[in-house]
Structure 1
Amino acid sequence: MSRALGDQRPWIVRALSILVLLLLWEGAGRLAANPLAPPASVVLAAMAREVASGALPHHVGITLARVAASFTLAMALGTALGLAMGWWRTVDLWLDSALLLLLNLPALVLIVLLYVWFGLTEAAAITAVALNKLPTTAVTVREGVRALDDELLEMGRAYRLGRWATLRHVILPQLHPYLFAATRSGLSLIWKIVLVVELLGRSDGVGFQIQVYFQLFDVTHILAYALAFILIVQVLEWAILQPLERRFVRWRVGPDHARRRQ
């Protein structure tokens, strides 16, 4: 019966699991009786006060704007690089080492370097976040291009499709699974890095607020802002990403059609 419930009403199972976590959190906080480990009810009350004062919506909005800007920049540049590297072997050889460097460079080092070179500016903050995401997007898209179905490409040539029509009707549908993989992994990475960027060098945003309350050892408000951020991320996942994925990712390229362009 429980298995059938999970298959038919997965949202009920998710809601129950969240309720159980909140109850466990509440119980642990009550038993601890320590301001450094507040129960869920205290954190939720603090979140409600921050919402009522307008502080939480203000800082969350600023953080979301930074996430959107850096994500758009990283996806645009990363997709372009991935397409070029997957399609042309020479481009891949020239840029592969640079991608490996960015992939292995610690995010904190890149953030600090950009702040040192360009100052504590908004442009430096967004660029730092975007550069941390760009290489993973490029690598994912490159692998998608290498896995394109030769037969579909040949069919497009047989029907004399132009470059734009081939890209739109033949290439992009095959790349949808890879683009969504890059989108999901990118957002999960950017959510975290943008908070570090704000904590180190911005005067607003969720990361800045967490840094302020850290200095005050105010764990309640740290958790309130963190929980609000997590809730927003989950809402975006359920309301936007999952429906889009169900709509566009209708099939995946089989391994027998994988290829590497020379």
Structure 2
Amino acid sequence: MTAGRPRFRQGAGLAEWISIPLLLLIWHAAATILQDPTVPSPVAVVAELVAQVVDGRLLEDFAKTLARVAAAFAVSMLLGCAIGALLGRVRFADGLFAPWIVIGLNIPAIVVAIVCYIWMGLSEIALVTAVAINKTPLVATTMREGVRALSAEYRELAQVYRMSPWRRLRLVELPQLMPYLLTAARTGLSLIWKIVLVFEVLGSDGGVGFRIGIFFGFFDMTAILAYTLAFICVVFAVEYGAMRPLEQRILGWRPAQR
């Protein structure tokens, strides 16, 4: 069983490397067979992407969208972690606010966006607030489970050694919470990307979603896919350049599960 794990990981790594080229090959074959303007080839999409970059419009739109994503992510993570810690430690608070969390997890995001836009106007604050409201319950739920799963034995050990609250948090509790924190960050970020774009289509003065909405009005599928391709590149850069190295650095001590 153990000897088979390295071979399994090598196979998974090889499959991961050929995954995107395989997708591009299928895409190119579909475009060649269909010969439809709504199914442009990867070559046409890349050419459009380069044109948008040279024009400068794409970089400006992505700067606005990424700033909104970063702000909403920071707010939702801070609030979600604080709320999750409270609900995980205080049973009365958990019982009192559990229905609120359920409502926050299930209320349609578009409703929250419309309400925030009506109350605050079509502003950056309204957009970031709407996204944070939608994602904070998810982070809070994940962190609540993490706090509940904290080992009582480690807590008693910290008391025996008379650790200060800060030292206990840093050396005992935070290492146990890191898997939950990383899960909350990855799932929250993956959803924030999508919601920010939807809210930009609904009402904003720029950004990737705003630009895609304009392209949709002209049925410009090539430009839509060019922006989508650029967005995918950003997502891959965050995942493979930040999230996975961070996860490996923090959780690399754990035995392999695959």
Q: TM-score, with normalisation over the residues of structure 1? A: 0.91
What per-residue deviation string (whole Å, max 9, x for no partner) do you get for residues 62-116 of structure 1? 1111110000000000000000110111111221111111111011111111111
Q: Does 1:116 align with 2:111?
A: no
| Structure 1 position 7, deviation (Å) | 3.4
Partners in 1 of 2:12 and 2:47 — Cα distance? 29
Q: For the residues of structure 1 that align with 2:141 and 2:191, how far apart are their CA atoms?
A: 15
Distance 1:227 1:70 in 2: 23
Separation in 1, partners of 2:55, 2:207: 15
- Aligned residue for 2:70, secondary structure, equals helix
Alignment of 1:120-135 (within 5 A): 120-135=122-137
Residue type of the alignment partner of 1:219? M
Partner of residue 80 from structure 1, selected from 79, 82, 87? 82
CA contact 1:6–1:13 (8 Å) conserved in 2: no
Paired position in structure 2 for 1:24:
26
Contact 1:69–1:126 (CA under 8 A) maintained in structure 2: yes
> What secondary structure, in the 3-state scheme, does the structure 2 residue paired with 1:225 have?
helix
2:157 is matched with 155
CA shift at 1:219, angstroms? Answer: 0.6
Distance 1:251 1:12, change over 3 A: closer
Equivalent of 2:201, from 185, 199, 202?
Answer: 199
Structure 2, unaligned runs of 5 or more = none
Question: Structure 1 pair 105/87, CA: closer, same or farther in 2 (3 Å)?
Answer: same
Show the counterpart of 1:259.
none
User: What is the alpha-carbon distance in structure 1 between the residues aligned to residue 6 and residue 168 of structure 2?
Assistant: 44
**C-alpha separation in 1, matches of 2:150 and 2:9:** 33
For the 8 Å contact 1:140–1:178, the answer to whether it is kept is yes
The CA deviation at 1:23 is 1.3
Mapped pair 1:185 → 2:192: no
Percent identity reads 45
SS of alignment partner, residue 217 of structure 1:
coil
CA displacement at 1:13 relative to structure 2: 3.1
Query: 1:9 offset after TM fit, Å?
Result: 7.2
